[in-house]
Structure 1
C-alpha cells in the first residue's frame, strides 16, 4: 500500500472511530474522507480479498446477510457491509474499518446497481449474485432495462466471474455473456398457462415484445415464464425451491432440491434471498448441512423485519422502497392472525428516491380488510402517505411528522404488536433515535 493510501486509510479509520464512538454512526462519511484523500483506495484491497458482489433491486441486504452466515460455516474471515451502505463511500468504509486479514479474505458486499461498475473497475469479483430488477427510484435508475445495463457495465469488466442469477427474472436471461452462469428459482408447482397482471414490470418478452405467459408466477413478473410467440423461456435451474411449507410473518419453511429448510423471517420474497445465498454457498463449497445450520440462526438483519421491544410493544421494523417490495410486505403482514397497529414513515431524500409516486402502486386497500386497530404516519413526507391511506379507505390515522413523536406514540398504540414500514433514510433516523433511547445497540451501524 502506498504512503498516500496508508494516510487516507488512517484518516478514514480515525473518523470512523470518532463517529462510531460518539455519534452512533459512521457507515459512509469515513469512506468519503478516505476517497477525498485517495480516490483509488479500493485498488489497495484487490490483493487482500476475493470479492462477491450482491446486487439487484430488492433483497440485496438480506441476501448478503444470509450469504455471510452461510459462508462463515466454512470460511473464518468473511467481510461484509451489514448496514446496507452500498455505494462507493460505504464500501470504502467497510474495507478501511475491517480488521486486517491474516491471509487472503473473502468479501461479500451488497453493491448499489449504479456502483457495480465502479467497484469492479478496482476489484475483479469471483462472483456476482443477481436478485431481481424492478422499477425503483426512477429519478436515479430509469426503467428496468437501464438499471440492468448499469449492472452489465460492471459485469463486462469481469468476464471470468461466475454469475449467480435469479432464473425467474427474465432480464437475466437476455444477454449472451462469456461468464459462467448459475440459475436459481422456484419449481414448486406447474400450470399450463398463466398471465401476470397488466401493470407488472417486465410484462413483455424482452426478445420480441409480445406478452409473456407463465407456468408459475411467484410474485410480480417472477416465475417460470415463456413466450408463445418466439419461444423465449426460463433457463434450466441449477437450484430450485421444490416445495413451500408454512409461511408466517416471522418464519418461512421450504424445500430446496428436496431438502427441508427454514429461515426465521417471513415473506415469500425472502425465500428468494435464501435461495440466492444457498446457490452462492454451494458454488463456494459449503455443504447442505452447513447451509441448514446457517439458516436456522435467529439473528435479525438491519431494517429487515427487526423486532424491537419499545416499552412492551413488539415493534417490527421493515424497509420498503418500491411498489413490488411494498406489496410483498403487505402480503406478508396479512398472514398475521393477531390484531396489530400499522405505521408508515416516508422520506424522499436522495437515498430514498425523491419521487414518492411509487406509494400509489401499493395495494393498501387490502389493509382495510384486516383487523388493524390504529394507523399512524410520519416522516418528512407524511402528508403523501396519509393521503394515500385515506384514498385506500383508512380513516383512523394519527399524523406525527417528527420521528421522536412517532416513537413516543408507539408506546400508546392499542395493540401489543406494531408494524413500522419505513423508507431507507427514515429507517436510519428511527434506528438512531432507538439507539439514543437505549432500545437497540448502535444506530446506523
Structure 2
C-alpha cells in the first residue's frame, strides 16, 4: 500500500470515528475526504475481497441486506454499505469500517448505483454481479432503460471472468451476449396462459426482431415468462426459481425457492425477487439451501425506508420508499391486500436524489386504491401541491383529505390519524428528512448505520 493510500485511509477512519461518536453518523463524508487525498484508494481498500456488486433500478438495498444475512449465516461479518450510500464515496466509507468475519474470509456485498458500476469496477475485481431489474427511473440521470443497461455493462465487461446473476424474467438481461457466464433466476410458479403486458409497460420489444413480446405468465410489469411469437426469442432457463407462492400480506410472503420453503417477513412480490437474488448469491458462495432459507426467514428489523415499521405513540407507521412508477404500483398493490382499514400519507420531494421530474406520479395507479377503507389521506413534502392534485384526480374523497407542507406538521397530523396502521409512501430525500425528525423526537435512533 502506498504512503498516499495509508494517509487517506487514516484520515477517512478518523473522520468516520468522529462523525459517528459526536455528529450522529455520516455515510459519505469520510469517503469523500479519503478520495480527496487519494482518488485511487478503493483499489487498496478492496484488495483480497470476494466482492458481489448488486445493481438495478429497484430492490438494490433490500437485496443487499438479505444477501448479507445469508452470507453472515455461514461466514460471520460481511462488509457492506448498509446505509444505501451506493456511489463511490459511500462504498469507500463502507471499506473504511471493515471487520474480518469469523471465518477469516473477506467478503463484500456492495449496493451500487447503476451509473457508478463502471466507476467502481475500475478499482475492484468483482466475483459476481447481481442484476435486479431495469425500469424507467430518474430519466434526467439515466435516460431510457437501454441506456442504463449500457452503463452497467460497461462495468461488467471490464471483468469477463465475473459471474453474472441476472433476473431471467427481465427481457433486457437476455438481450445481449456477454463473455461472462450468466446464471438466471425468476418465477416459475404459475399456470401458463398466453397474454400481453399493458401497452405502457417498459421494454416490451423483442431485442432480436422488435416484435412485441408475449408472456406465458407475468409477475408484474415486464417481468415473467416472455417469448417472441415472431422469431422465437424467449426467456432463458432458470437455475434459481420461485416454485410456489402460497401466501402474501402487506407484512409477509410465504413461498418456495427451488422447493425450499421461505417465510419472508416483508410484503410485496418485488421483495420476493430480492430474496430470490439473495438465495442465488448464497448458493454461489456455497451456503447450504437450508441455511439460506433460514436466514431469509428471520424476522429482523426492516431496512431503512423499506417497509420500516415505526411505533409512533402507539400507532404502527410503515415507511416505504417510492421512486418510480413500477415500484410505486407494486407498493400500491401490496397495501391494497391489507384486510383492515388504514390511513395513507404520500410525501413528494424532487431533489437530485429523488429525480427532479415529478411527472412519474401520473403513471402510478392511485385510482385502484380502496378509498372506502382509507379514512384519512395526507399529502406532504416539498412538492405537496403536485401529489395533492394527483390524488384529487385519483378520487380521494375531499372529506378524508388533508395536505401539509412542513414535515413537522406532517408528523403531527400522522399522530392524529384515526387508524392504528398508517402507510407513509415517500421519495428518498423525504424519507431522510422524516427519519431525521423522528430521530430528533426520540422515536428512532439517529443515522442509517
TM-score category of the 2 structures, normalised to the smaller one: over 0.9
For the residues of structure 2 that align with 1:408 and 1:22, how far apart are their CA atoms?
29
SS state of the match for residue 75, structure 2? Answer: coil
Q: Equivalences for 1:77-92 in 2 at 5 Å?
A: 77-92=77-92
C-alpha change, 1:70 and 1:101, in structure 2 (3 Å) is closer
2:377 corresponds to 1:372? no
Distance 1:305 1:350 in 2: 23
Q: Are 1:406 and 2:407 matched, yes or no?
A: no
Residue 93 (structure 2) aligns with: 93
Question: Matches of residues 271-350 of structure 1 in structure 2 within 5 Å?
Answer: 271-299=272-300, 300-350=302-352
1:375-407 deviation line (CA, Å, top 9, x unaligned): 111111111111111111112322111112212
Structure 2 counterpart of 1:9: 9
Which region of structure 1 is more displaced relative to structure 2, 88-97 or 7-16?
7-16
The aligned runs of 1:32-431 (5 Å cut-off) are 32-99=32-99, 103-299=104-300, 300-394=302-396, 395=398, 396-431=400-435
Alignment partner, residue 440 of structure 1: 444
Q: Secondary structure at the match of 2:74?
A: coil
Q: Tell me if the contact between 1:368 and 1:393 (Cα under 8 Å) persists in the aligned partners.
A: no
Q: How far has the Cα of 1:17 moved from its partner?
A: 2.4
SS in 2 for 1:73: helix
- Please give the alpha-carbon distance, in whole angstroms, between the structure 1 residues aligned to 2:285 and 2:166: 15
The alpha-carbon deviation at position 368 of structure 1 amounts to 4.4
**Match for residue 29 of structure 1?**
29
CA distance in 2, matches of 1:384, 1:12: 41
Q: Is the 8 A contact 2:244 2:256 kept in 1?
A: yes
* TM-score scaled by length of structure 2: 0.97
Q: Secondary structure of the equivalent of 1:440?
A: coil
Alpha-carbon deviation of 1:104? 4.7
Q: TM-score, normalised by structure 1?
A: 0.97
- Whether contact under 8 Å (2:59, 2:271) holds in the other structure is yes
Give the Cα separation in 1 of the matches to 2:50 and 2:8. 22
Aligned-residue offset at 1:266: 0.3
CA RMSD of aligned residues (A): 1.3
Taking the aligned partners of 2:210 and 2:372, their CA distance within structure 1 comes to: 39
How many residues are aligned here?
Answer: 445
Q: 1:304 to 1:72 in 2, by over 3 A?
A: same
CA–CA distance in 2 between the matches of 1:254 and 1:377?
35
Q: Cα 1:192–1:310, aligned 2, differ >3 Å: closer, same or farther?
A: closer
Q: How far, CA to CA, are the matches of 2:193 and 2:444 in structure 1?
A: 49
Q: Structure 2: state its 5+ residue gaps.
A: none
Stretches of 4+ aligned residues off by more than 4 angstroms? 100-104
Alpha-carbon distance in 2 for matches of 1:190, 1:293? 28
CA distance in 2, matches of 1:18, 1:150: 36
Give the Å deviation of 1:354. 0.8
1:433, 1:369 → 2: CA distance?
28
| Change beyond 3 A, Cα 1:41–1:311 | same
> 2:77, 2:100 within 8 Å by CA — same for their partners in 1?
no
Shift of 1:128: 0.3
Q: Report deviation, 1:50.
A: 1.2
User: What CA distance in whole angstroms lies between the structure 1 residues aligned with 2:261 and 2:97?
Assistant: 38
Q: Is the 8 A contact 2:260 2:290 kept in 1?
A: no
Gapped regions of structure 1 (runs ≥ 5): none
User: Do the aligned residues in 2 keep the contact of 1:433 with 1:443 (CA within 8 Å)?
Assistant: no
Classify the secondary structure of the residue corresponding to 1:108.
strand
